[in-house]
Amino acid sequence: MIKDILHQQLTEVLDALSLSRTKEFSVEIPNNTEFGDYSTNAALVLSKENKLNPKLMAEKLVKELKKNKSFKKVEIAGPGFINFYLSPAMYQQVFWEIFKEEEYGKSEFGNQEKILLEFVSANPTGPLNIVSARAAAFGDTLYRIMKYVGFAPAREFYINDAGNQVDILAESLELRLRELHGEKIGDFPYEAYHGEYVKHLAQRLNALEGNRVFMLTEKDRMDHLKEFALSELLEMQRSSLEKFGVVFEGWVSEKTLRMEGVVEEVLSYLTEADCTYEKEDAIWFCSTKYGDDKDRVLMKSDGSITYFVPDLAYHLTKIQRGFTQLIDVFGPDHHGYVPRIRAAFRALNYDDNMLEIIFLQQVNLFESGERVKMSKRAGKIVTMDDLISVVGKDAARYFFIARKANAHLNFDLELALKQNNENPVYYCQYAHARICSIIKKARKDKVYPKHFKKEMTAKLTKPEELAIIQKMADLPELLILIAQHREPHRLATYLEELASMLHRYYAHYQIVSAKNLELSQARLMLIHTVKNVMSVCFELMGISAPEKM
């Protein structure tokens, strides 16, 4: 907000002095307060094209900038930085603008561009694990932020309800069911799903239908078992996600896509585009022509189709539905898959820049300092539900959001179990609760004004107060950056910084003081606004903003 104003003013000054400005210059908040409230590298960046040395160029700019009364001081430092010191009056004006905003930071930046966010998309063969939880927190937060800055995003979950793993699921269920009926199974097959949840499914099916399923023919029985297991497990996943605050606009079933014939369509498109061939009884896609490192099978020699084809078909439906940017959030083990889908986009003459893949690195689980190895097939998983019930939705979401996507995440179960201040979510929530508590008391003491007025802002002059205003002024731009670069973790960093400033402010200044009503009201106005800004952040992260703790 303030950066934009300064950037605009610099542009005007450059034009007034007829200086060239083809290269991008920036306005930043320096990390050292000695270098002013804001600083710009304009003279450094633009000196070459104006054939001036940076210092001289800076002097010219500063001479002009000094005419502006919003600045307390403008100075040149280092190799040619221009540092701005803003007058309290300017901060107060900005603060008033922030205060007035109904939904601060909201913007129309995204122009309602339709963006499809596909995430989680876990196999429906078991409960969701913590990797899915990470994807859910990440994707959902990104969705919320993108929407807030004016994009038209949609969340989608692709259901892999066709293919080998579903057959194995049905077979696993049948074995557990037979066990229930007293059959000796012996060693449970290695490939089968070993998780306890399969036993629970068997018990449920048994309670509902007894041994009726065994009367069916082999094929009918498998279909029935599949259908039952899938609907149960999907419902389980849906409800876990809902508990986590994540709701999808769309659930797209691979099976349905196959039934609708989209798969054949895609095959024919690829054939028409002349990029398929037959080899060893299989049909191949010559993806190497389009940047992949080997060709890929589309139809196996047994006549069945690989995962790739319906998935490609699914991606094409996204485009047909009018989405102009397709974001997939994948686990780290799928990166080898990307070149072939990009290749297919190119082969079919779609712009593969539309497709954007974000990789979430894995979550390593630690218990007593030991890495816990997880395997869905062997039934050794920590589920998303476990996680939520142990650490709570807020802490879990925060933990996942606060780390950037392409970094490994070490999740220490014991640490999470402690549920104390080692988890920064409490630090932020505490700041919010603290403000609420102060406001409550001020209301009780009749210090809290009926209406905040612009004149009140004049009492805000302390460096800490102006710094808080500066921090708040930064949010709209930050949200846009987060949306553009798909980096929701930066909101967590921002929130921690704001919380820290608030805690420090609270510790050093009496906010409500009976002796000075005007000052009290100005400070209440400030923390009231901080509370609102924090609420926006919490809401965007899907975390609650408690009134008391």
Partner RNA sequence: GCGCCAGUAGCUCAGUAGGAUAGAGCAGCAGCCUUCUAAGCUGCGGGUCAGGGGUUCGAAUCCCUUCUGGCGUGCCA
At its nearest, how many Å lie between RNA and the CB of residue 146? 14
Our CB check for RNA shows the closer of 235 and 281 to be 281
At its nearest, how many Å lie between RNA and the CB of residue 184? 29
Our CB check for RNA shows the closer of 224 and 376 to be 376
Q: What is d(CA 358, CA 291) in angstroms, rounded to the nearest whole number?
A: 19
At its nearest, how many Å lie between RNA and the CB of residue 227? 17
- Helix-strand-coil split of the chain, %, nearest 5: 55, 15, 30
At its nearest, how many Å lie between RNA and the CB of residue 322? 27
Q: Are strands 325-330 and 355-359 parallel, antiparallel or unpaired?
A: parallel
Neighbours of 211 (CB within 10 A): 11
At its nearest, how many Å lie between RNA and the CB of residue 411? 8
Our CB check for RNA shows the closer of 205 and 512 to be 512
Stretch (H or E) spanning 493: helix 489-508
Q: Tell me if 20 sits within 8 A of 50, measured CB to CB.
A: yes
At its nearest, how many Å lie between RNA and the CB of residue 304? 7
At its nearest, how many Å lie between RNA and the CB of residue 209? 27
- At residue 464's C-alpha, the angle toward residues 460 and 468, to 5°, is 80
Our CB check for RNA shows the closer of 46 and 213 to be 46
Our CB check for RNA shows the closer of 297 and 354 to be 297
Sign, CA torsion 101/104/110/112:
negative
Our CB check for RNA shows the closer of 188 and 506 to be 506
Q: Tell me if 537 sits within 8 A of 491, measured CB to CB.
A: yes
At its nearest, how many Å lie between RNA and the CB of residue 406? 4
**What is the SS3 assignment for 74?**
strand
At its nearest, how many Å lie between RNA and the CB of residue 484? 7
Q: What is d(CA 404, CA 497) in angstroms, rounded to the nearest whole number?
A: 17
Our CB check for RNA shows the closer of 36 and 153 to be 36
Our CB check for RNA shows the closer of 345 and 426 to be 426
At its nearest, how many Å lie between RNA and the CB of residue 242? 23
Our CB check for RNA shows the closer of 213 and 287 to be 287
Q: What is d(CA 58, CA 26) in angstroms, rounded to the nearest whole number?
A: 14
Q: Tell me if 364 sits within 8 A of 408, measured CB to CB.
A: yes
Our CB check for RNA shows the closer of 29 and 180 to be 29
Our CB check for RNA shows the closer of 82 and 136 to be 82
Instruction: Give the pair of three-digit tokens for residue 308.
Output: 């790739």
CA 526 vs CA 186, 384, 457, 506, 512: distances in Å: 70, 39, 8, 12, 12
Residues with Cβ within 8 Å of 219's Cβ and at least 6 positions away in sequence, in order, are none
Q: What is d(CA 316, CA 271) in angstroms, rounded to the nearest whole number?
A: 16
At its nearest, how many Å lie between RNA and the CB of residue 508? 6
Q: What is d(CA 155, CA 216) in angstroms, rounded to the nearest whole number?
A: 39
Q: What is d(CA 379, CA 339) in angstroms, rounded to the nearest whole number?
A: 31
At its nearest, how many Å lie between RNA and the CB of residue 243? 20
Q: What is d(CA 218, CA 211) in angstroms, rounded to the nearest whole number?
A: 14
CA 435 vs CA 8, 85, 95, 239, 242: distances in Å: 35, 29, 18, 34, 30
Q: Tell me if 319 sits within 8 A of 313, measured CB to CB.
A: no
Our CB check for RNA shows the closer of 44 and 136 to be 44
CA 390 vs CA 140, 143, 298, 382, 402: distances in Å: 21, 26, 43, 11, 19
